[in-house]
A and B are shown apart, each in its own frame.
Chain A
């Protein structure tokens, strides 16, 4: 049966209220403070490291975000850990919170569709994250300008802009996931724990498990092992499995964007095929990371749609 009336009716009302709520909430303040604290520390160390090296480097500004040789103390790593936490923090009680406060049936008795409510909440979450990330990004850039004393060149700005955009997509995946759990579980605590648990699993355990599974599905060929090289088929399986984790996808895009000269997992294959790793131009980097970016966006859409369908079928009565 076709329903009449626009599904967008009331969207902007929900959007602006949720946005206002997020931006003024203590929760968001604490999370922002956390990012600022960690971010300030690592960016400071990165800047010191850059100031102490005298070697010529065409991408000095990028090093501020991901210092070479640093796997833990970099702004990128801090973001890749904290962005999921913020996204989950914003989304884990968005739908079940309305049920628990018993506001859901009252709000849905107003002339709006559920579409507007859910999408308004999602869009407000994304907007909040975008505002927070842009603020942080600008802070780091400003700090870099002052501390390093050189402006970033055009390509660096382009790369950092793409990095910012991809970070928003990455946050979107986790926000959609957290909202899905807030639809599936009536208890906010359960939704938060399941979301955080899945995040921990995908971030800490899954990369190692992907290695194991890849080896099990397609065992290494001893001819390659003898040469100290990974077997291409095994490597492909391991990479494919590891990329089920949004963290892996994000990491690969970040490497492509911020370390144009580094040998990422993608360039490792290229190198294996006989190409040499040399700094890629921005366009090439975007092309190289394009599948991963699409993967992040697609993941967000798929998770949102699953949540949308579940929400539409849900009974209003608690």
Chain B
């Protein structure tokens, strides 16, 4: 048996004439954090709902730990935790009562329930809020309570839909830390987001969605090489003659653009600032500025959609 916990093959969802997800294929391995990224309406949530068996698949197949969500949704939902994009709880009930209800639905033996709930609340940083009514909770606390539910469920796959949207930077980094701890437990995490830079740091691999299709898939450096042709941009401002040729000769530099008088933009496979500085100095030039841009998902994303702009009606 393969080590993939999720396998999707040609997954397609049509609403009438409108195709929401169009032939999507991907795999997620055990303990991997996989990012489903893309603008709103690109088909990320629909893909997730198909994986959970909460919406019917028009064509293609998907299996989660060997179970088919269309045929056996109960087995799938037993091992998968889901955090919807705007998670809701029963406001008039306490956090613990909310979790007790879910625990009963999951079928956690009543003897274990309270200890597992307490441990989960502790892990997401809500140890004292359990007896409070959820109506008093902030958005960040609800999000954490949703994560506590997944932790309590002791799942093999966690699917988090837009977990960071609407959170402040501090809450976001705490949430990302919890996601990393899930990975350490061997849980495969699927993460959907339209906020690229926030999730870039946690994702092992990402799939960029665009208009229902996966436009790009792979690790962030891979994608950078693929789309940006290297990924690192080094900006050099220096005076001197024939600097463009000298800079182009630096190892690792793919391309040199002269953007203005004495201003060059290098495209390289790594951070070549020292070598570029040395090249300028050797050529007798005067170096005024040197900066580097590391490859970011944002850059990959923007570049990709710039070159494929006719396919994107409203890129986020």
List the interface of chain A (C-beta within 8 A of B).
1-6, 9-10, 13-14, 17, 101-103, 105-113, 315-317
Chain B minimum-CB-distance residue to A103 = B88
Stretch at the interface among B28-36, B98-106, B120-128, B182-190: B98-106
List chain B residues, Cβ under 8 A from A112: 74, 77, 105
Chain B minimum-CB-distance residue to A102 = B88
CA A13 to CA B49, docked complex, whole Å: 24
Instruction: Name 16 interchain pairs, CB-CB below 8 A, sorted by A.
Output: A1-B70, A1-B71, A3-B72, A4-B75, A9-B74, A10-B105, A13-B101, A102-B88, A106-B88, A106-B102, A107-B105, A110-B102, A111-B75, A112-B77, A316-B55, A317-B55
CA A103 to CA B107, docked complex, whole Å: 18
Are B88 and A13 within 8 A (Cβ)?
Answer: no
CA A309 to CA B71, docked complex, whole Å: 19
List the interface of chain B (C-beta within 8 A of A).
45-46, 49, 52, 54-55, 70-75, 77-78, 80-84, 86-91, 101-102, 104-107, 146, 149
Q: A14-B105, A102-B88 are in contact. List 14 more A-B contacts (CB 8 A).
A: A1-B71, A5-B72, A105-B84, A106-B87, A109-B52, A109-B81, A109-B84, A110-B105, A110-B106, A111-B74, A111-B75, A112-B105, A113-B74, A316-B49
**Which single member of A2, A10, A103, A105 contacts B82 (CB below 8 Å)?**
A105
CA A316 to CA B78, docked complex, whole Å: 18
CA A211 to CA B52, docked complex, whole Å: 53
A77 to chain B, nearest CB (A): 34
**Which single member of A5, A6, A108 contacts B54 (CB below 8 Å)?**
A108
Are A109 and B55 within 8 A (Cβ)?
Answer: no
Are B101 and A17 within 8 A (Cβ)?
Answer: yes
List chain B residues, Cβ under 8 A from A107: 102, 105
**Given contact pairs A106-B146, A109-B52, A5 touches B75 in the complex (Cβ within 8 A):** yes
- Chain A interface, DSSP helix/strand/loop, else mixed: loop
Are A102 and B54 within 8 A (Cβ)?
Answer: no
CA A293 to CA B175, docked complex, whole Å: 57
CA A127 to CA B104, docked complex, whole Å: 20
The 4 closest A-B pairs by CB, nearest first: A102-B88, A5-B74, A109-B82, A110-B105
B248 to chain A, nearest CB (A): 52
Are B80 and A109 within 8 A (Cβ)?
Answer: yes
**Given contact pairs A4-B74, A13-B104, A110-B106, A103 touches B89 in the complex (Cβ within 8 A):** yes
List chain A residues, Cβ under 8 A from B45: 317
B136 to chain A, nearest CB (A): 15
**Which single member of B72, B91, B104 contacts A4 (CB below 8 Å)?**
B72
List chain A residues, Cβ under 8 A from B83: 106
List chain B residues, Cβ under 8 A from A4: 71-72, 74-75
A117 to chain B, nearest CB (A): 9
Are A315 and B84 within 8 A (Cβ)?
Answer: no
CA A13 to CA B73, docked complex, whole Å: 19
Chain B minimum-CB-distance residue to A101 = B88
**Which single member of B70, B86, B107 contacts A111 (CB below 8 Å)?**
B107
CA A50 to CA B35, docked complex, whole Å: 77
Chain B minimum-CB-distance residue to A2 = B71
Chain A minimum-CB-distance residue to B57 = A1
Chain B minimum-CB-distance residue to A97 = B90
